Amino acid sequence: MNDRLDTPSVIIDTDIMERNIRSMADSAKRLGIALRPHAKTHKMPSIAQKQLDAGAVGITVAKVSEAEVMAEHGIKNIFIAYPLVTPAKIARAVRLSGQIELIVGVDSLDGAKLLSQAALEAGRELQVRLEIDTGLRRTGVPYDQAEALASAIHAMEGLRLTGIYTFRGALLGGKPTLDLQAAGAEEGRLMAELADRIRAQGVPIADVSVGSTPTGLQAAVAKGVTEIRPGTYVFQDRMQARLGVCSLGDCAGSVRVTVVSRPAADLAVVDGGSKTFATDVQPNTDPMQLQGFGHIVELEDAVLERMSEEHGMLRLGPAAQASGLKAGDVLHIIPNHICSTVNLHDKVYFKSGDNYEERAVLARGKLQ
Amino acid sequence: MNDRLDTPSVIIDTDIMERNIRSMADSAKRLGIALRPHAKTHKMPSIAQKQLDAGAVGITVAKVSEAEVMAEHGIKNIFIAYPLVTPAKIARAVRLSGQIELIVGVDSLDGAKLLSQAALEAGRELQVRLEIDTGLRRTGVPYDQAEALASAIHAMEGLRLTGIYTFRGALLGGKPTLDLQAAGAEEGRLMAELADRIRAQGVPIADVSVGSTPTGLQAAVAKGVTEIRPGTYVFQDRMQARLGVCSLGDCAGSVRVTVVSRPAADLAVVDGGSKTFATDVQPNTDPMQLQGFGHIVELEDAVLERMSEEHGMLRLGPAAQASGLKAGDVLHIIPNHICSTVNLHDKVYFKSGDNYEERAVLARGKLQ
């Protein structure tokens, strides 16, 4: 092992990544739907460019600072799918809208007024999409208030309301589900019907945009949906495999770790803990029922059971105990949630055959 | 609000931080014990220097890369309290040991051999401490095997074994506890007795080093303990307040967030989620029984109940609902775990009166 591959570090298998990028682009093409990947998973302009080259119409981000990094590196069509309400962020978005094709999210009358005022003061028009809550209870105007808000925003100077969007994840009737087909169908139908009702009020909604890696392709089947915004598909992860979206063999991202201690027959400690692996998708939560914080590629019956900041505790089953695992051995672990895991790493390593290339995660940790 | 204080961002109240630094240093002095703070909480050389100025004998880190950053910025006495087993890290540690007073952790014969060999090849002697497992089942040689391993390491060329150390947290008889006095007393007694037994074999153990913010001062009461390594005390956090170590008023760190959406009477969404707040101390886990992912300073009956990467969902009780909270309002949230929260932020803001000063978290995200 050389310095460059010291552990812990994130490895991206580029063959699998390219396959995932192509597969989603082909599916979108087949369905006649626009693909606007969420860059939150990779946070890297070079991968965003690959997604565009494969046919994506633009990308999605959550923060103005992410949009700025992407724009600096040549990405020219960006949707900030997040309600902007602070003066600093709005000013930066207005500025950026003079340099690239920018769309901004909005989900309230107060927020729309702030955007409108800033756009007018700058002598510009901002393209906006209205976020709809279709059941997740996160951001988004409540479904039954969306028509009235769309009309009000449509009437505002300085704003051009061109679409509606939602994010719901794998939810059905308000509850987490593994039935992605039903979840996606419901998501698509809700959005298509709403778009029609808003149009009936004279608001020309062009874009009807839905999530997500687990439900996007299912929702896109609904007539009237025009765009999907999946993010995780580019690398996939253990959560998506558990949802049935992919297999573990489709996961392009893993964390390379070293066993630093073998204090007991059933215990191995690796050099990655909660500073290395995201903990926002927790083990043993319904309905995911994931065991542990990641899938250990090399050991079939080991579970990454506990973590502190720099320690990952593996409980070893009989096969792992018989494997002769010792301090210094290297393992690869597919994390439960790759997006928030990548956010913990300043750099990742692109693996192609036996070659490893260091790449900076340029839009990592962009919070504002 | 100006650009510099856009949200989300970590605010450090410097008056409270200075008080925490002084208080721990005074307690250590009173007990006649050395203080070697763990820098994992702040990850900033300037704060490490404040701890040294207040009387600390040196600092503790977990990674060679953290030690390198600290050394570059003038910190000259560092204990890497982690078993080093990869060739790259060992080579860097040996190099660093020629520049500063460096101590390295070890917990196995295999690990000790690697360190010994690297030190001999470089013509150097590495000062090491043996990590002891006193019940957490993390790294550390099992308690009953420690005497034999200490003797073996003592006999190795290239290594100078000068101490033993442990980390256990708030644990008693192998189980999480809120009885910190009993937990600390047990931790201190176990370590002091072991040090005597190792000395009886002719190994001159000088340093007997124990954790931690919750148990360090209690463990230090045991005769024979010579050093404590608390980390979190510098900022404190909601978990420590729940443990009874401090009050919420002793928490120097909070996350400034903005309400971005008020979609329902009982729901407010803020612009910080799992990319902003660490999730490694989860709500509603025994015996912590913390409600939510942080304490909302301005709203007594609001709970940060759910998070996705960029969204924090606050469930509002009657008082919060009556407060007139609206999009654009700013809140401060004391996180459950400040150490892993700071690790998510490239910079923090030192607050002194009405003045805010931006400071880089120089040793953030150092994984190797």
A155 and A275 part of one domain: no
**Number of residue pairs across A and B with CB atoms under 8 Å?**
188
B223 and B110 part of one domain: yes
Domain end point (choices A201, A231, A261): A231
Residue A201 in any domain: the answer is yes
B225 and B264 part of one domain: no
B206 and B255 part of one domain: no
- From the list B138, B267, B309, the residue facing A308 with the nearest CB is B138
B105 and B221 part of one domain: yes
The set of residues, in sequence order, having a beta carbon less than 8 Å from that of A209 and lying 6+ positions away, is A36, A79, A129, A163, A164, A165, A166, A191, A225, A226, A227, A228, A229
A209 and A316 part of one domain: no
Chain B residues with beta carbon closer than 8 angstroms to that of A346: 365
B135 and B257 part of one domain: no
Distance of CA B171 to the CA centre of its chain: 16
Q: Which residues of B, range 287-306, sit inside 8 Å of A by Cβ?
A: none
> ipTM strictly over 0.95?
yes
Residue A53 in any domain: the answer is yes
Residue A219 in any domain: the answer is yes
B27 and B57 part of one domain: yes
Domain span at A158? 15-231
Give the model's pLDDT for residue B261: 98
Give the model confidence (pLDDT) of B48-83 as tens digits: 999 999 999 999 999 999 999 999 999 999 999 999
How far apart CA B198 and CA B77 sit, in angstroms, is 25
Residue B156 in any domain: the answer is yes
B76 and B197 part of one domain: yes
CB contact B62 to A (< 8 Å): yes
How far apart CA A219 and CA A217 sit, in angstroms, is 5
Q: How many domains does chain A have?
A: 2
The answer to whether B257 touches B7, Cβ cutoff 8 Å, is yes
Domain end point (choices B232, B256, B289): B232
Q: Which residues of B, range 69-88, sit inside 8 Å of A by Cβ?
A: 82-88
A223 and A104 part of one domain: yes
B21 and B59 part of one domain: yes
pLDDT means per 10 residues in chain B (368 residues)?
A: 77 98 98 98 98 98 98 98 97 98 98 98 98 97 98 98 95 89 96 98 98 94 97 97 96 98 98 97 82 96 97 98 97 98 98 96 98
Residue B346 in any domain: the answer is no
CB contact A335 to B (< 8 Å): no
Neighbours of A300 (CB within 10 A): 11
Looking at residue B181, which CATH number applies to its domain? Answer: 3.20.20.10
Q: Which of A24, A14, A11 is nearest to A233 (CA)?
A: A24
Looking at residue A291, which CATH number applies to its domain? Answer: 2.40.37.20
Could you give the 3-state DSSP secondary structure of residue B152? helix
Closest approach of chain A CAs to the CA of B171, in angstroms?
14
How far apart CA B248 and CA A150 sit, in angstroms, is 43
The set of residues, in sequence order, having a beta carbon less than 8 Å from that of B355 and lying 6+ positions away, is none
Q: Between helices A14-31 and A45-53, what is the axis angle to 10°? A: 40
Residue with tokens 């295999």: B110
Q: Please report, for residues A38, A232, A247, A250, B367, the alpha-carbon distance to residue A213 in angstroms, rounded to integers and kept in the order given.
A: 10, 6, 13, 13, 29
Residue with tokens 């002598």: A123
pLDDT means per 10 residues in chain A (368 residues)?
A: 77 98 98 98 98 98 98 98 97 98 98 98 98 97 98 98 95 89 96 98 98 94 97 97 96 98 98 97 82 96 97 98 96 98 98 96 98
A219 and A253 part of one domain: no
Q: Which amino acid is it at A276?
A: T
Give the model's pLDDT for residue B286: 74
Percent of chain A with pLDDT over 90: 93
Neighbours of A353 (CB within 10 A): 7
Domain end point (choices A197, A231, A265): A231
The answer to whether A290 touches A238, Cβ cutoff 8 Å, is yes
Q: Which amino acid is it at A26?
A: D
Residue A2 in any domain: the answer is no
Residue B99 in any domain: the answer is yes
Q: Which residues of A, range 238-297, sit inside 8 Å of B by Cβ?
A: 258-264, 267, 269, 271-276, 278-280, 282
Residue A365 in any domain: the answer is no
